[in-house]
Chains A and B, each alone.
Chain A
């Protein structure tokens, strides 16, 4: 925990360290802190199950997800635990394989968006002056321009571009929220003594930013990554649901697309839509729960102490 960290900056946990070792120590500490939080453990558990599903899909999935050799629109049975689609595909196999692309998009797009937000946020804070002003306006513009219409247009122009187009589109529209959060914290760190001493030592700006500034913002960066990944999962599902990206690739979003276009809910195979949607919701919930826990770590005032209520001393 951040128990002995200096909290002179209000709620932000800032532990000035002047060695690169902070890169190693902080995540370890965060992991131990997260594991003592029930919400986070629950979230990590779900995420772990989905990750295992994605990695071992070829081993777990009973059938080829593309194969159309079964009786169409079959109800759940011993052979097809979740039934089949109206094309005669095994729904369970599709769900298991679908985890793969959904997780990849969430992870990579989240990562790309996070990198962009750290880059812009830290640059703005570190450069200051007119550059800061321009970058901040830039961030605000991207913040208010509604993302979905923009994503739809770009994805529609890059027709059938598949997963990589989706990742690119989501990263382009998803970075501004994080940049807006990074900038003030980088700004508050900028004039700290440990950064000043690094400057006096004659370290380069790149060194200072990479090894002095960033390690001290890791909990915020993790929170931003989780937020961006959650956004990416939901955005990808939405885009694939309306048929953007490559509908022939198997993911939970494309399953929703095919299910909806074949009116699965009304024609007796509701699981075709229910299950992938529930998986997206569960994945999103797991990320949101972990994020919520990280938020509580970073901002101690949000932490709800679970101690017994101490009765006040009787008034005299």
Chain B
């Protein structure tokens, strides 16, 4: 329990840090890009929206920095991020909420597949260390994890377009169809997600394999593994339940560290595939210098990552008896 409370504490501290970073960044930048953005806005936005933006970017000179900070926090808690330049007159929050589910689904599914598959392959590779599988797979995945996600995506698009695609090469669903919860539509979505998902899994799995392999090499030299062998247990049983099971926990801890990289790669992959998620929105925001949208996206991605890390920590605490006995 104490562990979970500590993790919750960390969650809120990090959340606060991200919020504060988000507040400070536009105020630190030289040349006042926010002012330039406001100039482009004038005449296009109603006074209330302009006012909200001024609060967000610290252009309200009547307020001191502390008052600005308080009203910024207040706005953020009430999910008021102002109006998007790119998707004017839609509000930022509306635009973000349309994109977020796509990214969450893609990230969730690919991360779970890649974690489970990578952990399993890592286990086998460590069990047969020095063998042909280890000698080929391990350096192979080391190399693959150094390939830029988005470039692999571009290559996938090229290969599938040349070889007369049987998989859609971009976007979240077929052009012209409306979003609905029906089997044909779900099938469409799955088909469209296949190539991005494969790209992400291929490039992110190497990390899991490598950490699992290294953890497993550690547990393989433990006495309890020797004991299992001495008892004459089958190889499969020793590998899965004795060595493997104990090597998984540190891999789960590594989850928190790796997630940031995976999310970064995922956002770029979305851009390549014009997938209607957060990454694609980011590109639109960069192209249009849409700072309110960018900052809201940063916050939402951070919150999503923090929640995932919290979840991994809680699972870890529940699974690891050592963390329980500390309390």
Chain B nearest CB from A209 CB (Å) reads 26
| Contact status of A270 and B286, CB under 8 A, knowing A141-B14, A144-B14, A145-B302 | no
Cβ of B263 under 8 Å from chain A: yes
Select one of B17, B30, B148 contacting A238, CB under 8 A: B148
Q: Is the CB of B148 within 8 A of A277?
A: yes
Interfacial chain A residues near B181, Cβ < 8 Å = none
The interface residues of chain A, by DSSP majority, are classed as helix
Interfacial chain B residues near A157, Cβ < 8 Å = 25-26, 29, 33, 291
| Contact status of A137 and B13, CB under 8 A, knowing A146-B301, A289-B139, A305-B130 | yes
| Contact status of A146 and B264, CB under 8 A, knowing A157-B33, A242-B283, A306-B130 | yes
Interfacial chain A residues near B298, Cβ < 8 Å = 149-150, 152-153
Q: Is the CB of A288 within 8 A of B267?
A: no
| Docked complex Cα distance between A242 and B146 (Å) | 19
Chain B residue with minimal CB distance to A234? B148
| Docked complex Cα distance between A156 and B150 (Å) | 20
Interfacial chain B residues near A274, Cβ < 8 Å = 155, 158
- List 3 A-B pairs, minimum CB-CB distance, nearest first: A284-B146, A148-B264, A277-B151
Q: Is the CB of B294 within 8 A of A153?
A: yes
Chain A to chain B contacts (Cβ below 8 Å), 8 pairs: A137-B10, A143-B257, A146-B302, A237-B148, A241-B268, A256-B150, A260-B154, A285-B146
Select one of A145, A158, A273 contacting B260, CB under 8 A: A145
| Contact status of A145 and B14, CB under 8 A, knowing A153-B294, A157-B25 | yes
Interfacial chain A residues near B130, Cβ < 8 Å = 304-306
Chain A nearest CB from B261 CB (Å) reads 8
0/1 per residue, A113-155, Cβ < 8 Å to B? 0000000000000000000000001001101111111101110
Cβ of B209 under 8 Å from chain A: no
Chain A nearest CB from B85 CB (Å) reads 12
Q: Is the CB of A289 within 8 A of B161?
A: no
Cβ of B214 under 8 Å from chain A: yes
Chain B nearest CB from A232 CB (Å) reads 12
Select one of B17, B261, B289 contacting A159, CB under 8 A: B289
Q: Is the CB of A273 within 8 A of B154?
A: yes
Interfacial chain A residues near B263, Cβ < 8 Å = 146, 148
Chain B residue with minimal CB distance to A38? B139
0/1 per residue, A161-186, Cβ < 8 Å to B? 00000000000000001001000000
| Docked complex Cα distance between A277 and B256 (Å) | 28
| Docked complex Cα distance between A281 and B202 (Å) | 14
Interface residues of A (CB under 8 A from B): 39, 137, 140-141, 143-150, 152-154, 156-159, 177, 180, 230, 234-235, 237-238, 241-244, 256, 260, 265-266, 270, 273-274, 277-278, 280-281, 284-285, 287-289, 292, 299, 301-302, 304-306
Cβ of B61 under 8 Å from chain A: no
Select one of A143, A156, A289 contacting B256, CB under 8 A: A143
| Contact status of A154 and B25, CB under 8 A, knowing A146-B263, A238-B264 | yes
Interfacial chain B residues near A137, Cβ < 8 Å = 10, 13
Cβ of B305 under 8 Å from chain A: yes
Chain B residue with minimal CB distance to A304? B130
Chain B nearest CB from A99 CB (Å) reads 16
| Besides A244-B286, A281-B151, 4 other A-B contacts (C-beta < 8 A) | A144-B259, A159-B33, A256-B150, A280-B151
| Docked complex Cα distance between A96 and B54 (Å) | 46
| Contact status of A292 and B13, CB under 8 A, knowing A159-B33, A274-B155 | no
Interfacial chain B residues near A241, Cβ < 8 Å = 148, 150, 268, 271
Interfacial chain A residues near B267, Cβ < 8 Å = 148-149
Cβ of B76 under 8 Å from chain A: no
| Contact status of A304 and B260, CB under 8 A, knowing A144-B305, A238-B148, A265-B157 | no
| Docked complex Cα distance between A288 and B145 (Å) | 8
| Docked complex Cα distance between A149 and B25 (Å) | 13
The winner among B260, B282, B287, B302 for most chain A CB atoms within 10 A is B260
Q: Is the CB of B148 within 8 A of A280?
A: yes
Q: Is the CB of A277 within 8 A of B155?
A: yes
Interfacial chain B residues near A143, Cβ < 8 Å = 256-257, 260
Cβ of B142 under 8 Å from chain A: yes
Select one of A180, A242, A304 contacting B271, CB under 8 A: A242
